[in-house]
A and B are shown apart, each in its own frame.
Chain A
Amino acid sequence: MDGLVKLSFYCFAASSIAIAASAISYIVYSVGRIRVRRAMMATSAGTTVSGSMAEFGPGAAGAGRFGTMLAWFAFVFAAFAVLFRSIVAHRLPTSNMYEFSLTFLLCITGIYLVFEHMYHVKQLGAIVMTIGFGMAVYVWTLPADLREVNPLIPALNNRPIMTAHVSMAIMSYATFAVSFAAAVLYLIAEGRRISWLPNAEMLDDIGFRAVTIGFPMLSLVLILGAMWAHEAWGVYWSWDPKETAALFTWLVYGVYLHTRTLRGWRGRRSAIILLFGFAAVMFTYYGNYFFGGLHAYGGV
């Protein structure tokens, strides 16, 4: 079994590298080509004046395809990392920050690839894969003893609810990362005529579509968490900091949805709320670092 733990870590390393390479490819694709042309001009005085002209053009489609291939590699390696660890632990790896982040890598690459398949907007990858890469870097900085598979403490030992609660949380965070990426791209694309960036209204829609998936998931996270708390501690809501941080995130996306559906907000204002929303997601994700409370276990 120790071999599988090693192999899982090895696959995680491969996934980290693939996600880094994928992020770079997508960025190259999104930034586009900058062509520098030297121009020579003969003046009437008989001298020649030379100058450089920068020209922006769409990125090489090859870089985008390469990014997609690498994203697939990141996804597959993360899947193996999660699979091997699950075999050892007899559960999904979701009990400490190392395991949680490992599963997050799987979900963020997977959900990104779904969105890429649906909308063919590879520029999203430049942002989503960079977030994924940041997460991978963070995992490498975690204490090495978290890489071991440990038995669950009694409070966590509720496999059906833990699996549902934590994996829902991971998937909602990953989906919000996609909506964040769409919002950032929207703010770049809006008002500027960058021909190779996707249609701004479509980006706005991608952001909304991602929230319509992430928001019910986050609601389920809160509900399942409450059900679990009720079983383990006899109280379904105890104003625990991580709980209220998730509630805060939920409210931010609630504002986004209400302004959008009832007041018809679109575009820039909506995108800015999405940026706030993702900041709240990050705050909730890393909350363990500055909160105590009921979620402070699993060695960070």
Chain B
Amino acid sequence: MTSQQPASPAPISSSPAKPATRITANERLIRIGLVAVVALGIIGAAWFVSGRDGIGLIGGGGVNAQLLPKVGEQAPALVTYDSKGNLVHLSDFKGRPVWLNFWGSWCPPCRSEMPDIVAAYDELQPKGVVMLAVSMQEAPQTAQQYADLNHATFRVLADPNIFDPQQFPPEIADSAGHYQIRNFPTHIFIDRNGIVRAVVLEPLDEQSALKYGDMILAQK
């Protein structure tokens, strides 16, 4: 048993005396230097390790991915055939507001919104809006049949991804890269100056479609 015999009644300090460590300026410098060297070592090693593990590839995906045109920027070129085999350029409609709809007749939400889209376009077309309905992942004729069933008056365009750049104008494949569609339907509203005003990643009803249509019409 460790023991402290009751010695003199004189009180001792209640906290244990710490060994008096006095750091000289020199020692302090050495310590700071050591910390700095270690920090540099870690940073350097991290540079090496993360470089080997593909740090260069990180950061472009997820929320930073750029698959679609950005709002406020010039709409990139879109070139493809329509369902009747005519080559259509987005630039053909310069000076007019354009409503791009990427859809498919195989896509249930696209079919659900179709009557609303048709009704909205019936109202917007006389005001000058052009709608180009790019049917993705299917033959444009199939999409045209479905559009006809809905008495649609918009032009049905073919998926630019289905044209081999060896046999068709390479601009078509280029435009596929500018419009990488992962959602069906995707609506893009472009004003008469070719500036993208809205990218809508949800189905529209007649009212909201008209709202977007009026918005691009209002841009002078």
- Residues of A within 8 Å of B47, CB to CB, are 10
Count of A interface residues, CB-CB < 8 Å: 29
Q: How far is the CA of A17 from the CA of B45 in the complex (A)?
A: 7
- Residues of B within 8 Å of A13, CB to CB, are 46, 49-50, 53, 55
Count of inter-chain pairs, beta carbons less than 8 A = 75
The stretch of A51-59, A139-147, A209-217, A262-270 in contact with B is A139-147
Q: Is B42 at the interface (CB under 8 A from chain A)?
A: yes
Contact flag A10-B50 (CB < 8 Å), given A17-B45, A73-B38: yes
- Residues of A within 8 Å of B61, CB to CB, are 145, 148, 150
- Residues of A within 8 Å of B62, CB to CB, are 5, 148-151
Q: Could you tell me if B42 and A1 are in contact, using CB atoms closer than 8 angstroms? A: no
Q: How far is the CA of A10 from the CA of B50 in the complex (A)?
A: 6
Q: Could you tell me if B54 and A144 are in contact, using CB atoms closer than 8 angstroms? A: yes
Q: How far is the CA of A2 from the CA of B55 in the complex (A)?
A: 11
Q: Is B20 at the interface (CB under 8 A from chain A)?
A: no
| Distance from B13 Cβ to chain A, minimum over Cβ atoms (Å) | 20
- Residues of A within 8 Å of B58, CB to CB, are 2, 5-6, 9, 144, 147-148
The residue that A148 contacts in the complex, of B35, B38, B53, B59, with Cβ under 8 A, is B59
| Distance from B92 Cβ to chain A, minimum over Cβ atoms (Å) | 35
Per the 8 Å Cβ criterion, residues 41-81 of B in contact with A are 42-43, 45-47, 49-50, 53-55, 57-65
Q: Could you tell me if B46 and A149 are in contact, using CB atoms closer than 8 angstroms? A: no
Q: Could you tell me if A149 and B63 are in contact, using CB atoms closer than 8 angstroms? A: yes
Q: Could you tell me if A14 and B64 are in contact, using CB atoms closer than 8 angstroms? A: no
| Distance from B30 Cβ to chain A, minimum over Cβ atoms (Å) | 13
- Residues of B within 8 Å of A10, CB to CB, are 46-47, 50, 55
Q: How far is the CA of A4 from the CA of B58 in the complex (A)?
A: 10
Count of B interface residues, CB-CB < 8 Å: 22
Q: How far is the CA of A144 from the CA of B50 in the complex (A)?
A: 12
Q: How far is the CA of A16 from the CA of B48 in the complex (A)?
A: 13
Q: Could you tell me if B54 and A150 are in contact, using CB atoms closer than 8 angstroms? A: no
Q: How far is the CA of A145 from the CA of B60 in the complex (A)?
A: 10
Q: Could you tell me if A17 and B59 are in contact, using CB atoms closer than 8 angstroms? A: no
Q: Could you tell me if B64 and A148 are in contact, using CB atoms closer than 8 angstroms? A: yes
Q: Could you tell me if A70 and B55 are in contact, using CB atoms closer than 8 angstroms? A: no
Q: Is A18 at the interface (CB under 8 A from chain B)?
A: yes
Contact flag A2-B60 (CB < 8 Å), given A9-B50, A13-B49: yes
* Closest Cβ neighbor of A66 among chain B residues: B38
Q: Could you tell me if A70 and B38 are in contact, using CB atoms closer than 8 angstroms? A: yes
| Distance from A88 Cβ to chain B, minimum over Cβ atoms (Å) | 7
Q: Is A89 at the interface (CB under 8 A from chain B)?
A: yes
Q: Is A3 at the interface (CB under 8 A from chain B)?
A: yes
Q: How far is the CA of A112 from the CA of B50 in the complex (A)?
A: 26
Q: Could you tell me if A5 and B64 are in contact, using CB atoms closer than 8 angstroms? A: yes
- Residues of B within 8 Å of A77, CB to CB, are 42, 46
Q: How far is the CA of A21 from the CA of B35 in the complex (A)?
A: 14
Q: How far is the CA of A145 from the CA of B58 in the complex (A)?
A: 8
- Residues of B within 8 Å of A202, CB to CB, are none
Q: How far is the CA of A19 from the CA of B54 in the complex (A)?
A: 21
| Distance from B163 Cβ to chain A, minimum over Cβ atoms (Å) | 29
Per the 8 Å Cβ criterion, residues 15-66 of A in contact with B are 16-18, 21
- Residues of B within 8 Å of A145, CB to CB, are 61
- Residues of A within 8 Å of B87, CB to CB, are none
Q: How far is the CA of A16 from the CA of B45 in the complex (A)?
A: 10
Q: Is A69 at the interface (CB under 8 A from chain B)?
A: yes
Q: Could you tell me if A89 and B63 are in contact, using CB atoms closer than 8 angstroms? A: yes
Q: How far is the CA of A9 from the CA of B58 in the complex (A)?
A: 8
Most B CB atoms within 10 A — which of A11, A73, A151?
A73
0/1 string, A55-98, CB within 8 A of B gives 1: 00000000000000110010001000000000011000000000
- Residues of A within 8 Å of B39, CB to CB, are 73
Q: How far is the CA of A11 from the CA of B45 in the complex (A)?
A: 11
Per the 8 Å Cβ criterion, residues 5-27 of B in contact with A are none
A-B contact pairs, 19 of them (CB 8 A): A1-B64, A2-B64, A3-B59, A5-B62, A5-B64, A6-B55, A10-B47, A13-B53, A16-B49, A70-B38, A73-B38, A140-B53, A144-B54, A148-B59, A148-B63, A149-B63, A150-B61, A150-B63, A151-B62
Other A-B pairs beyond A2-B64, A6-B59, 6, CB < 8 Å: A13-B53, A17-B42, A73-B39, A144-B53, A148-B62, A149-B64
Cβ-closest 10 pairs across A and B? A2-B59, A148-B62, A14-B46, A148-B61, A5-B59, A13-B50, A13-B46, A150-B62, A149-B62, A2-B64
Chain B interfacial positions (CB closer than 8 Å to A)? 35, 38-39, 42-43, 45-47, 49-50, 53-55, 57-65
